[in-house]
Structure 1
């Protein structure tokens, strides 16, 4: 139970308890997140109307108005499971009252709008769930060269994997980006650069072969999504490639098929189970 003496000792630092201080009242969601973080770790206290300044905790107090009651009524609605906490107004040594909350450690995970928060070294940390990667599928991004697309897809399938050809997955209601999000646990991608477009710098006369702009964009998006090392850039023919993307290596799609061994090695390094005998 909250009482004046205990809160006074908390403010003076005499009790070794987790505590967060606030000069003013916070929003319902912010308070819910802090409550959840305490409940998911060791429990703790929230004191509103107390400020750390000039090396000590000082009581500045809060106005007792209806807004705080409204906030406290909103907070339980933000939890999937409501944690065990209590709150009250506390007046210490005839100073302006402060608003105190005590949060008990929970045996169950406390989520705020589907997210889990914890307290680490008195800082609130959002805990990201570890995603289970699917090492049976590979994205394929391509331009207008259907032959190159089919050759890469057949090779991926020969390795015993499923080729997710993004442009074949798109429907009227889903964009490429939405499809990538849908298959967000796919662990690898092959981007095929083929001479589908032409372009030149302003002032130059000669046009150069280059990949379609959507291929370049999707290449960059996938690197940001699954990591640069998990995206293989395959180039067919003599074409311009983006030269300002740090660390990207472009593999030539040669007629001898050496690129197949390179892809297999990279897939294996990325965690895929690859039988090298299937390359031959």
Structure 2
């Protein structure tokens, strides 16, 4: 339960506890980041409706409306692990009520979409942590060719690995790029180029088959994140491939299935435990 006397002393500057003051309500994501930073350090308070003015803290209060309830309901979905916190309204004398959130220090590391934040000298610092790559999973990028996607995924699973297909993963209100960042901590990725779109240069008459734009984008993203040698570009059919991604080797997704042996060898070279008997 929130202690009104402690909150009053925080506002008056009589109590030395980590505290963040806000004249108005913040977004759910901003609040979650601050809460995570407090939880990863020594805990702290967030006071909404309190303004710092000329060396003193002034209570201006907040309107009690549905928006705040909506924001607070959204916050738990932003944590990878939800920290211990409580919140509520407190009225200081005759002023309008303020909204208070108390965050306790966590024994576990609290992450926001895979990112760790800490509080240093009352400032939020994003801690850069090197994530371990998961060598039991393979990230698969695909277009609209469901048959090709399923064939690659089932092959990966036959090798005893987990196929990570983005749309099958939980969204938790993340954007597409945030989902890619979260689920691509893998040792290897397979990008499937299939003729799902058509395009041509200005002035040309003939259209060429192309992969979807998301496939090309995710291909480049993955090369930057896990390294070019750890990404295989698998091409199905007669399709135009990007010519400005240097050093990329395109593997033909032939009907005979020779591509499977090539990918298995690449996975082995990347550090995966592969039993080649499972290819047959």
TM-score for the superposition, normalised by structure 1: 0.55
- Structure 1 range deviating more: 67-76 or 102-111: 67-76
Is the Cα contact below 8 Å between 1:139 and 1:186 reproduced in 2?
A: yes
User: Which deviations, in whole Å up to 9, do the C-alpha atoms of 1:226-268 show, x marking residues without a partner?
Assistant: 1111111000000000011111111000011111011111111
Secondary structure, counterpart of 2:29 in structure 1: helix
- Structure 1 range deviating more: 11-20 or 242-251: 11-20
* Unaligned ranges ≥5, structure 2: none
Secondary structure, counterpart of 2:68 in structure 1: helix
The 3 A distance-change label for structure 1 pair 247 and 16 is farther
User: Which deviations, in whole Å up to 9, do the C-alpha atoms of 1:162-200 show, x marking residues without a partner?
Assistant: 001113326482233211222242121100000000110
* Pairing of 1:204-215 with structure 2 (within 5 A): 204-215=204-215
Alpha-carbon distance between aligned partners in 2 of 1:16 and 1:222, rounded to the nearest angstrom? 46
Alpha-carbon distance between aligned partners in 2 of 1:163 and 1:132, rounded to the nearest angstrom? 18
Alpha-carbon distance between aligned partners in 1 of 2:67 and 2:212, rounded to the nearest angstrom? 56
- Structure 1 range deviating more: 135-144 or 179-188: 179-188
Aligned residues, how many?
A: 280
User: Which deviations, in whole Å up to 9, do the C-alpha atoms of 1:206-238 show, x marking residues without a partner?
Assistant: 001000111111111111111111111000000
Is the Cα contact below 8 Å between 2:48 and 2:100 reproduced in 1?
A: yes
Larger Rg: 1
* Unaligned ranges ≥5, structure 1: none
Question: How many angstroms does 1:36 deviate by?
Answer: 21
Question: How many angstroms does 1:127 deviate by?
Answer: 9.2
Alpha-carbon distance between aligned partners in 1 of 2:117 and 2:205, rounded to the nearest angstrom? 58
Is the Cα contact below 8 Å between 1:86 and 1:101 reproduced in 2?
A: yes
TM-score for the superposition, normalised by structure 2: 0.55
- Structure 1 range deviating more: 91-100 or 212-221: 91-100
Alpha-carbon distance between aligned partners in 1 of 2:102 and 2:169, rounded to the nearest angstrom? 51
The 3 A distance-change label for structure 1 pair 47 and 250 is same
User: Which deviations, in whole Å up to 9, do the C-alpha atoms of 1:101-158 show, x marking residues without a partner?
Assistant: 9999999999999999999999999995443221111111100000000000000000
Cα RMSD of the aligned pairs, angstroms, is 8.2
Is the Cα contact below 8 Å between 1:170 and 1:176 reproduced in 2?
A: no
